[in-house]
Structure 1
Amino acid sequence: MKCEGCGAELQCENETLPGYIPREVLESKVLSGEKILCQRCFRARHYGKLMPVHLKDFSQQLREIINSMNIDIVVWVLDITDFEGSYDSMISAILRDVRKIFVVNKIDLLPRAVTVKEIEGWVRKNLNEESFEIILTSATKNYGLKKLFESISKFQRVLFIGVTNVGKSSLFKKITGADVSITPFPGTTLGLIHAKIFKTNLYDSPGITTGRRVIDLLKPDSQKKLVPVKHLSRYTFKPEKDRVIFLGGLCRLDVNFESEMRPIFQVFASESVKFHETSETKADELWRKLYGKLLTPPFDPEELSMESLNFQEKTFELNVAEELSIAGLGWLSVRRGPLEICLKTIDGIYVRKREALINPLRKERRT
C-alpha cells in the first residue's frame, strides 16, 4: 500500500523513513475508505512543514526502472531559471540511449522581453543531445500543457524525471489530475506515482539531487525559500574597480576591468537571495560578520557554517551578451564589458560561462 501523495510505501515502524503513518491512523483510514496520506504528506499539505526523512538517491535506480518497466519515453523536466542545475551530465549519461522529451518549465519567470522562439533556440544550442523534442511550459500558467499531453499520449508508458525543485510533479498533476502532493519543499515525491489517461500509463518519479547546486546543500525549509515562485529578482550593477559583490553568503564576485568605462551587468536570482556590494578591503571582514544574516542564503549561520565549507576560486573573462551561471543560485548577465570576475563559491558547485539567455541586444517581445 502506497501513500497517495508521495508514492512511498506505507509503514508504521520508523518515523524517520519514507511512508510513515501511525498504525491507528492507517487502520482508521482503511476502514473508512478515506484517502491515505503518510504523516509527512499530511503535515506538508495542512501545516506547511516537511518532516526530514532519509532519502535514497533515485538516480541509481533510474536505468533499472526504465528497463524493467519497459518505459517508452522519458519526460525530462528542466528549469529554465536553473538550466545548469537541472540539466545534469550524470542524468544525461544514464539516458543516453533512451527516447526522451525535454520539457523546459518556469518560462513565465523570465523577463517578458525574451521570446518563446529565443528560449527554445537557446535551449536547443545548450543541450548536448543528438535528437530530441523540446516543449516549453509553465505549470503555474498552464502554458504548453496541451502540447505536452499530445506528445506523450502517443506512448503507452511514460516516465517523468528531473532534479528536485523543477516543478515536475506540478506538471504531472496538471496533465493527469492525480492527487499528488505538491508543496514548495524539495523531494516531496518519494516513490513512483502512477496515473492513466486512456491507454497511456504515466509515472512520476522522485526528484534527483545532484549535489552540484547551491540549493542542494541547504535544509528543506531553506530550499523552499530559495525556489523562485512569482518572479526572479534582477539587480543592475555598475561597479567601480576593485569592488566585491556578494550573492548571499555562499557566492562572492570580485570585479576588475581595464577600460575607463565601468562595466554594467545584471544578476538574476530568487527574491530571497540578498545582493550586497562593498569594497575589496572590507569584503573579508563583512563576509564573516554578515554571513547568514544580511548575506542569505544560508538563512541561518548554523545551517552551513563557513568553517565547515571548502570554497573554490575561478576567474572568468566576460563580455557583452555572455553570462556566468552558478547552479542552484542564479546568474550574471553582462550588458557592457569586458570585465574580469573572480568567483568564489563552495567547492563542487557547477559554474559555467555561457552565451546569454537574457540577451541585451534583443528587440522582440514574447508572443
Structure 2
Amino acid sequence: MRKEMVETCPGCGAKIQFEHPGKPGFIPQDVYQRKLDAGEEIVCQRCFRLKNYKILTSEADEEEIQRFLSVAIRDFEKFVYVFDVFDFEGTFRPEIVKLLERQEVVFVANKFDTLPKTVSGSQLKSWLLEVIGKSVGIRPSQIFITSTKNGYGLSKLGDFLSGWGGKALILGVTNVGKSSLLQVITSSKVTVSPYPGTTIGLIEHRIGTLRLFDTPGIIVSDRLIDLFDPQCQAQILAKGEVSRKTFKPFPEEVIFVGGLVKIQSTLASQPDLRPIFQIFAPEQVTFHKTKNPEFINHPEKHFGRLLIPPCGRFDVSRLNFKQVEIIVKEEEELSIPGLCWINVKRGPVRFTLNVPENVEPKVRPALMKPKRKV
C-alpha cells in the first residue's frame, strides 16, 4: 500500500487540486484520500470521465497553454513535431517549425490510415519532402509516417527514438494524435481522448535512452474545425479512411461541404465544358449539391442533418464570411484547413468559395496525381 502524495495527474499532467470542480486537476479530496490509502491509481476527475465515459468536463485555457509552451521550448534542443497527414495545411504550422530551425527536429506524419489506400508510404514521403521544403525552406532529415490505428510505422519510429538519447519535447496542434502515439510506443497510461486540450502539462515518458516529454496540444483558430464545440470536433475528426465524392457541376450549382463552406466552379480555360474534381473529407462530413435558392441562402435550416458540420444548432450569425476566387490546376489540390481537400481531375478550375473569414483555403501540389495520357 503506497502513501506517497500524488501532486500531478498522470493522465494529463495537471496539478492535483481540490478547490475548483470542472477545472483541470480537480478530484474530490475524499476520493483522493481513499485512493491514496488503497494504493489505487489517482487521476483527476476530468481524466477519469474521459477514460471511462468519454465525457469532457473542462477545456484547457488557450492563453495558459501558449505561455506554458513558450517557456518549455527554451529548455529543449530536440523536438518531435507531429502533424495530421489528412489535414496537413491545418496542422503543419510553418510558424512553429521556423522557431525550431536551429534545433534537431523529427517530423511525424500521423493518421496515415485516413488517406486513400492508393497513396503509398513512399509516395506520401516524397510529397511531404516537396511541400515542407516549399513551406519552410528546409528539407527534413527525418520524417516518419505513422498510424496508431493500424500500427503503420510505429516500430520504426520507436526504434529511432529509443536510441536518440537525452531528452526531447513532442509538439503538435490539438487532435493530431500525439497522446495516442505516445501511449502505443511507450506503453504508458496517458489519458487519450478525441477532444482538444486533453494534455495540459509536461508528461514524461521513457523510451530506451530517451526522456520524451508530451505537451499540451497547441490551440489554433484558423481551421474550420476550430469553430465548433469539442463534442462536434470529436464527431467530425477523420477516424478511418476518408470519404470522397466526384463532382461534375454546372456553373449555377452550389456544393456545400458541411454547412459553412459553399463552392461554385467553372473551367478556367474551356467554359463550354464542366470541371471534374473529387472532394475528400472525414466520413462524418456531408456533401450536398443544389441550385435551390432557398437552400443556398438559408443552409442553417439543415444543420446537423443534411449539412454536418455543424453537428446541430449553430448560431451562424456570429460568423463573418468571405468570398475567395482561386484557380487550381490539374497537378494541384485545394485544401480547406480543418475540413477537406479537393483534387482536380479536369481543369484548371476556377473555384468561388464562401468560407468563414478565419479560414484560409490553400493551393498545394497534388498528392493524388492525375493519370497521365499515353
TM-score bracket relative to the smaller structure: over 0.9
Q: Residue 3 of structure 1 corresponds to which residue in structure 2? A: 9
Give the structure-1-normalised TM-score.
Answer: 0.93
Number of corresponding residues: 359
Tell me by how many angstroms 1:129 deviates. 4.3
Q: Secondary structure at the match of 2:155?
A: helix
Which whole-Å deviations, capped at 9, do the CAs of 1:45-74 have from their partners, x for residues lacking one?
111211123424434433421323xx2411
Amino acid at match of 1:8: A
Q: Report the CA distance between 1:360 and its aligned residue.
A: 2.4
Asked if residue 67 in structure 1 is aligned to residue 74 in structure 2, the reply is: yes
Q: Given the alignment, which residue of 326, 330, 337 partners 1:327? A: 337
- Find the counterpart in structure 2 of residue 21 from structure 1: 27
**Could you say what secondary structure the match of 1:81 adopts?**
coil
Residues 26-51 of structure 1, C-alpha deviation per residue, up to 9 Å, x if partnerless?
Answer: 11111111111111111111112111
In the alignment, the residues of structure 1 paired with residue 148 and residue 321 of structure 2 have an alpha-carbon distance, to the nearest angstrom, of: 35
Alignment partner, residue 4 of structure 2? none
Q: Does 1:263 align with 2:275?
A: yes
In structure 1, the residue matched to 2:85 is: 80
Residues 279-318 of structure 1: pairs in structure 2 closer than 5 A: 279=291, 281-302=293-314, 305-318=315-328
Per-residue CA shift, 1:254-302, capped at 9, x if unaligned?
2223432221111111111111001174553342432444211111223
The 3-state SS of whatever aligns with 2:87 is helix
Correspondence for 1:130: 138
- Residue type at the aligned position of 2:156: K
Aligned-pair Cα RMSD in Å: 1.8
Q: 1:121 — aligned with what? A: 126
Q: CA deviation at 1:328?
A: 0.6
**TM-score normalised over the length of structure 2:** 0.91
The structure, 1 or 2, with the larger RCO (C-alpha pairs under 8 Å, 6+ apart) is: 1
Counting only pairs closer than 5 Å after superposition, residues 1-367 of structure 1 correspond to structure 2 as 1-57=7-63, 58-68=65-75, 71-127=76-132, 128-132=136-140, 133-152=142-161, 153-257=163-267, 258-279=270-291, 281-302=293-314, 305-361=315-371
- Rate the CA distance shift 1:279–1:150 in 2: closer, same or farther, 3 A: same
On the 8 A contact 1:72/1:155 being kept in 2, the answer is no
Rounded to whole Å, the distance in 2 between the matches of 1:231 and 1:359 is 18
Q: CA deviation at 1:90?
A: 2.9
Quick one: which amino acid aligns to residue 178 of structure 1?
S
> Which amino acid in 1 is paired with 2:72?
I
**Distance verdict in 2 for CA 1:53–1:62, change over 3 Å:** closer
> What letter matches 2:69 in structure 1?
L
Distance 2:71 2:101 in 1: 14
Deviation, 1:15, is: 1.6
Q: State the percentage of identical aligned residues.
A: 38
CA contact (8 A) 1:104 1:134 kept: yes
Offset, 1:349: 1.3
Residue 183 of structure 2 aligns to which amino acid in structure 1? K
Q: What secondary structure is seen at the aligned counterpart in 1 of 2:184?
A: helix
